[in-house]
Amino acid sequence: MHHFTYRDGALHAEGVNLVDLAAHVGTPFYCYSTATLERHYRVFADAFGGRDTLICYSIKANSNLSVIKTLAQQGAGMDVVSEGELRRALAAGVPPSRIVFSGVGKTRDEMAHALQAGIYGFNVESEAEARALSAVAQEQGRTARIAFRINPDVDARTHAKISTGKAEDKFGVPWNDAAALYALAADLPGLEPCGVHMHIGSQITDLEPFERAFKLLSDLVGDLRTAGHTIDFVNLGGGLGVPYRGTDDIPPHPDDYARVVERAAGALDCRLLFEPGRMIAGNAGILVFRVLYLKHGDQKRFTIVDAGMNDLIRPTLYDAHHDIWAVDEARGQEPALVQDIVGPVCETGDFLARDRALPPFREGDLGAVMTAGAYGAVQASSYNSRLLVPEVIVRGDEYAIARARPSYEDMLAAEHIAPWLTPRKAMGRA
Ligand SMILES: *Cc1c(COP(=O)(O)O)cnc(C)c1O
């Protein structure tokens, strides 16, 4: 469910006509819908109505400050994976008590900053990290609330690059080490082990892996309590999938997900934390491009557009499918043609769609890559010295440029030519 629909023959983001928006902002650009962000957060939160929950939106999916603030105003906490993301959350006014810090490689500086800020807790991914965090906390005279991230060795049945809960993935600590690690943490002076964390992967479209993982987690909480630990929260991570292919692959509804959670963890008498990212932001964003040229190769029809893999890397990195719509509704109703949609970047992997039956785009047409709100702009780069793609957020019939396209002057000003490369003025004798 999202708020990108045709009206008066043109695709709109809520009440904003994308033809007009493209004329104002220039292409390519990302466009986010406030109503969609809010709706997704509410659907998720309402699925757990009545329970003591803390829903920490996973900032890495889309870290635009306006997106963070939109969700924070709905009551969302934040899941961060770096000091940069922590600073974004704080800059958007998120209370530190609603922030959790994840990731396998937090530096001591990052730990110190997060402790000073007074965040809710840390998801700890190794014994070495636990020891480092304890030392940093002790230096500050503080105690860090922690949950070990448990790797349950469950196959989330998702793309290999976004599976995180198998024994061979770098994430979490092995299930079998958990008892010893909690005992160690309880002895370390700077730590208070009071939660258990799991996050088994992303774009999960089947509830069964969640069910198995949560059952393991719930058993572990029982064992830890028996061993004398006070476990007051469990963090079930994120991972719920979104529909990338129109209406073909409907992921589980949050209500069904909530039933699985209830069955596995409902009796634990714990605060429940969640870290949804994609499920909140995915369908709330699109990438708008303009068609530059058409080219008929020997075998293929190429539609060359002004957005490339540097703006949206998901198709080439994860073999991801994104629906592509014509902004002009009439064009979308003409008979489809099989084509590749490719960008200007000098890489064969620079495509947005391959061998797909899509509208018969013509030069100058606008198109929209759908479901691009999560893991889109955040992974953009300036490869080929292309300017970082701007981000626009819409609310009703208003829009705001939430991150501007930099200028070429900005791009060049960030670099300095090494002094020895600049010829010195001739000195003294010739
Ligand atoms: C990336 C990540 C998430 C969010 O995953 P989604 O699939 O976007 O919901 C949640 N928790 C952790 C620890 C993550 O690394």
CA of 375 to the centre of ligand 1 (A): 11
Cα–Cα distance measured from residue 320 to residue 328, given in angstroms and rounded to the nearest whole number: 24
Q: Which domains does the chain have, with CATH numbers?
A: 4-31+282-413 (2.40.37.10), 34-280 (3.20.20.10)
CA of 277 to the centre of ligand 1 (A): 6
Q: Which atom of ligand 1 is nearest to the CA of 204?
A: 7
Catalytic residue IDs: 346
> How confident is the model over 186-220, as pLDDT tens digits?
999 999 999 999 999 999 999 999 999 999 999 99
Enclosing H/E stretch for 400: strand 398-403
Is-contact 261 236, C-beta < 8 A? yes
As beta bridge partners, residue 173 has 150
| Ranges in the chain, pLDDT < 50 | none
Is-contact 349 370, C-beta < 8 A? no
Q: Has this prediction a pTM greater than 0.85? A: yes
Is-contact 191 143, C-beta < 8 A? yes
Taking CA atoms only, the protein residue closest to ligand 1 atom 3 is: 238
Q: What pLDDT score does 427 carry?
A: 62
Which residue from 37, 54, 57, 60 has its CB within 8 A of the most atoms of ligand 1, so it is best to mutate? 60
Pocket of ligand 1 (CB under 6 A): 58, 60-61, 79, 81, 102, 199, 202, 237-239, 275-279
Q: What pLDDT score does 248 carry?
A: 65
Taking CA atoms only, the protein residue closest to ligand 1 atom 13 is: 102
Q: Which atom of ligand 1 is nearest to the CA of 81?
A: 15
Q: Which atom of ligand 1 is nearest to the CA of 281?
A: 8
CA dihedral 346, 352, 357, 358 (to 10 degrees): -100
Q: Which atom of ligand 1 is nearest to the CA of 282?
A: 8
**Counting Cβ atoms within 10 Å, is residue 92 exposed (0-12), middle (13-18) or buried (19+)?**
buried
Closest of 279, 380, 367 to residue 327, by C-alpha: 367
> How confident is the model over 241-280, as pLDDT tens digits?
999 987 667 899 999 999 999 999 999 999 999 999 999 9
Residue positions forming the annotated binding site: 239, 275-278, 314, 318, 347, 375
CA of 202 to the centre of ligand 1 (A): 6
CA of 358 to the centre of ligand 1 (A): 31
In sequence order, what DSSP letters do the residues of 210-263 get, joined into one string? HHHHHHHHHHHHHHHHHTT----EEE----B----STTTSPPPPHHHHHHHHHH
CA of 279 to the centre of ligand 1 (A): 10
As beta bridge partners, residue 149 has 197
